[in-house]
Amino acid sequence: MRETGSVGGVVLAAGRSTRFGEANKLLEPLRGTPLVSHVARTAVDSSLCEAVVVVGHESAAVTDAVDSFDLPTRYNDAYAEGQSTSVRLGVEFARKADWEAVVFLLGDMPFVHSGTVDQLLDEYRTGDGSIVAPRYDGKRGNPVLFDRQHFDALADVDGDRGGRELVMEHDGTRFVDVEDPGVLRDVDSESDLERDTTEH
C-alpha cells in the first residue's frame, strides 16, 4: 500500500456544449436539478478531500447551479480553446492545494456514482498505478485519477483532448472494473437526458 496524501477532484464545467444545441446542457434539468449539480454531488458524496469547479461558458449560471455544495470555483477565460485549458486550471489548483493526485470529473457525465470515485481512490492507494480509470463492460470510461507526477504533462496538453493520450499510452495506467454504466454515459443531446434510467 502506497503512502498517499490528499486526493482532490476537479469538475470540468466550462464548455460551450455546442453539440447539444443553443441551450447549455450543463444547466438542463435532470430529475428537476441542473445536470452539472449531479456531478458536483458525486464529488461531494465521494471520499475526495475537496473539489473545485472550473467554469467558463455562462459561468454565473453554472456557479449558481453548484452553489449549494459550497465548492470553490475557478473561471477559465480561455474555455473556447478546449477542455485542456480547464484541465490546466485544475492542475494549478491541485498544486496550490498540495494534492497528491487529482480526479477529473466531466460536467456532462451526471450518472457516475460517488462509489465509483471511491473505487478509483482505493485502487490508487492500494495499487501501483499512477493513472486510474474505470472500465465498464470492457470499455474505458470517466472520471480518471492522475498522480501528481503527471501534472506537468497535463498542463502541457492543448486543444480539446484533456488527458486521453496519457491514459492510453502511459504504462502506469490501471483500470478498475466497475458496475457503473454511468462512466460511459455523457450527455450530448436531449435524447441522452430522456433515456435517464440510472439512479445515483
Average pLDDT over residues 129-145: 97
- Give pLDDT tens digits for 26-60: 999 998 999 999 999 999 999 999 999 999 999 99
Mean pLDDT of the chain, nearest integer: 90
Over 60: is that where the pLDDT of 62 sits?
Answer: yes
Higher-confidence residue: 100 or 170?
A: 100
Over 60: is that where the pLDDT of 1 sits?
Answer: no
Average pLDDT over residues 180-199: 75
Average pLDDT over residues 7-14: 97
pLDDT at position 53 is: 98
What CATH architecture is 22-190? Alpha-Beta Complex (3.90)
Q: How far apart are CA 146 and CA 121, in angstroms?
A: 10
pLDDT range class, residue 149, cuts 50, 70, 90: very high
pLDDT range class, residue 98, cuts 50, 70, 90: very high
- Give pLDDT tens digits for 104-123: 999 999 999 999 999 999 99
Over 90: is that where the pLDDT of 200 sits?
Answer: no
SS (H, E, C) the chain: CCCCCCEEEEEEECCCCHHHCCCCHHHCEECCEEHHHHHHHHHHHCCCCCEEEEEECEHHHHHHHCHHHCCCEEECCCHHHCHHHHHHHHHHHHHHHCCCEEEEEECCCCCCCHHHHHHHHHHHHHCCCCEEEEEECCEECCCEEEEHHHHHHHHHCCCCCCCHHHHHHCCCEEEEECCCHHHHCCCCCHHHHHCCCCCC
Over 60: is that where the pLDDT of 198 sits?
Answer: no
Over 50: is that where the pLDDT of 173 sits?
Answer: yes
Asked if 188 and 18 count as a contact pair (C-beta separation under 8 A), the reply is no
Q: How far apart are CA 168 and CA 112, in angstroms?
A: 21
pLDDT at position 3 is: 60
Q: How many CB atoms lie within 10 A of CB 195?
A: 8
